[in-house]
Amino acid sequence: MEFRAEIDVMPLKALLDPQGKAVGASLKNMGLGVITNVRIGKHITLSIEAANEEEATAKVDKACKDLLHNPIMEYYTFKIEKA
């Protein structure tokens, strides 16, 4: 069965996000000062072939843990749905 996963990898909330700060400052200069708390991470989409949703979830979790996120600086969330 084929599943689609959508993964977000974001900088840990306790850490400063310099890229987000820079974008926040640029938005302010553009007259969009109502926008604050900008944080920027990665969005990853992928397809996965698995027997069921539990197996797909386990594989995606392994991919996140072992390759896609750096636990020192980032956390991840994902959702899976049938393709």
Q: How far is the CB of 38 from its own copies (least distance, A)?
A: 5
What gap in Å lies between CA 16 and CA 45, rounded to an integer? 25
Q: How far is the CB of 21 from its own copies (least distance, A)?
A: 12
CB < 8 Å & 24+ apart, contacts of 58-62: 60/5, 60/7
Question: Which residues from 20-39 bind its own copies, rule CB under 8 A?
Answer: 20, 23-24, 26-27, 30, 32, 34-39
- 46 near its own copies (CB under 8 A): yes
| Closest listed residue to residue 41, CA positions, set 3, 5, 77, 81 | 77
3-class SS at 32? coil
Per CB under 8 A, does 64 bind its own copies? no
d(CA 14, CA 5): 26
Minimum distance between the CB of residue 64 and its own copies, rounded to whole angstroms?
11
Residue ranges binding its own copies (CB under 8 A): 8-10, 20, 23-24, 26-27, 30, 32, 34-50, 59-60, 62-63, 66-68
